[in-house]
Structure 1
Amino acid sequence: MIDLDDFELPEPPIAAGGGGGDARFDQSDIDALFGDFGGPTERKKGLRAVIESKVISHERLPMLEVVCDRVVRAFASSMRNLTSDAIDVSLEEVTSIRFGEFMNRVALPAMVGVFQFVEWESYGIVTVESGLIYAVVDALLGGRGGHPPMLIDGRAFTTIETGLVSRMLDLALRDFAEAFAPIEPITMNLERIETNPRFAAIAGPSNLCAVATFRVDMDGRGGRFTLLFPYAALEPVRHKLLQRFMGEKSGRDSIWEAHMGAEIRKTNVSVNVVLGETRMPLSALEHLAVGQTIQLHKSPDDPLDIASGGVTLARAQIGQRSGKVAVRLVSNVSNERTKA
């Protein structure tokens, strides 16, 4: 049998103030129990550290900022026609962020729209915060301006509210497509609107995305909406978005191109007519004497190779003209080696 008196049981913890027999945990005991020691966390290494790093290295897309500036002017006019109110639209920022971090920052309640780039067969996201949602609904239903709309939290958006906001998003996507047309003609179609960001996932959490945030103000009401474009979706036109201004030509100048063409045409080129070729050992070459004949296995009527720099350019026949030896081309000049 085991005698329990042989074992020493630990005494129960005592309150930090030392106040008698009331046993309770203090904050340090709770932190120790759950493993929060307050010390430095373990550093991530290898590929995990690269994927989960908050430092984002990305290429700046100057033309995307130009497109967003054009969207500001076009969308302000579209919203004035839609609501018949004084609308002020401004571009707050164009930046880059990881998709998972962006979705975690969406403040609920909000509407998350998923749209498609038809030509690229890829998707993007547009988010509308609650302040702008209620402002648009209030304006389209005849509400008076000058005071912020009443925000009703804790309920889902109605079908009417979703339909009214969809009209605004259709205008925003149409204006963005028109502003993007000088770079590349695209079609952007709004596919669906979600109220839960989990149902609007179009990329992996670590995928890099370009984000453009706009602010809409209408008589004291308004809020922000954000357009998100995965970098993978913009890959077909990435080289155009890297331009600094509209119509920039990367690595090509028509003036220098014409100048180079004119100078090349003035360049002298040495052309050799190959009468024939043969192989002979070095010992036979050393014993060559004046008057000996070397057979080239060519007849007078066979075409000869015209070469420059060791590259065969054309075929020709040898003859005379004005008392001088001449050749007449029997094939076109080509940059490829002429086959026999």
Structure 2
Amino acid sequence: MSDADIISAMRRKAGVGRPPPDVQPMSPAKALRLAAAKAAEDAIGLVMQVTNVIEERSSILRLPDQLPEYALLSLLEGPDNAYGLAVFDRNVISAVVEQQTTGKVLKLPPEERAPTATDAVMCTEITDHILSLFETNIAEVADPPDVAGFRVAAQLREARSISIAFDDVPYRVYRISVSLGRGVREGEILLVFPFARATPKPVPGAPNDFGRDFQAVVMKSEARLDTVLHRIRMPLADVMSLEAGMVLSIPRSAVSKVELRADDRLVSRAQLGQINGKRAVRLIFMTEEDDDPLEAPYGSEAGGFGDMGALSGGSEFPALSNGLGDMGDLPSLGDLPAMGNIGDMDSMGDVPPMGDLPPLGDFPAMGDMSGEMGELPDLGDFPAMGDLPTFDD
């Protein structure tokens, strides 16, 4: 057996029974442990060991009650005018000051007093160093919290200043328990960051894009349009007697009088036609003077009387387009006799008296009037696809 084989066998025997090395993935707690120990050593030569890390979610109303007494409050300024907080309790403050003045952490208990501006200046370097290393270490986490870019900006004298400087949003609090000077003293550090990056505040006088963004959202919303070919009015009794298979007549003029409605309001008029083998409607320009047919009185377009057009020259009756024939032969208003030439009422003697008029019961029933309805178009006369006008693509 060679020397290499003997050494390899000894190494295998030495490793029997030992657990594999415990390599923990990066986490906020691990990142803070590494950052605090290295920052204290590099900045001022202080031995600082993190014993516990607790992550909490807090609000601006609860933060003042979570701070220790006689603590140093350092305001942290981050990107987009976001603010955080670094808190050193009095044990940490005294350890940092003593390390820089005497070179070691004293065993005497710290003095109970409010931190001074000198204390804040002496703690600024180690605070920024912890934040910088924490920012670098936390980047290795799969979904890192947003803690980048925060540095010490000023000292807060009182805890009530937090509600003035901070926005009313949720905050992420890291409560760090530390051992100082090789176990000489125990202390606590709090790091507070916004739980989520706040929206930048608008600058006074800067252009506001709210209107444009709101319009873009509204224009993408869906709108329902209903196409109304024709409207028919009938007594309620006839409506109640409607049955499946009954036929309601629609005039040909309805093809050019289509209504386009949204939420039962008239949007535009249209003409029925076809394009690419499918039925389509072509919009017709409307003016503000156009009346809504739903609000028109009985006997207007909504009643199906046809397009009355405009009076020709102010005296001629227009031709009706509902199948009643050409009315163009009627005399103009100027040819009618004046009221003074009508004469007396004696000329009406040829009108039969009321007694000679037939009673209502002698009128023909609805079933006998089928021969009289021959002049009206039946359903088969409604234009088919081939008879509709074709729109240009």
Quickly name the TM-score band, shorter chain normalised: 0.3 to 0.5
Could you state the TM-score of these two structures normalised by the residue count of structure 1? 0.43
Query: Greater strand share, 1 or 2?
Result: 1
Q: Which has the larger radius of gyration?
A: 2
Q: Which has the higher contact order (CA 8 A, sep 6+)?
A: 1
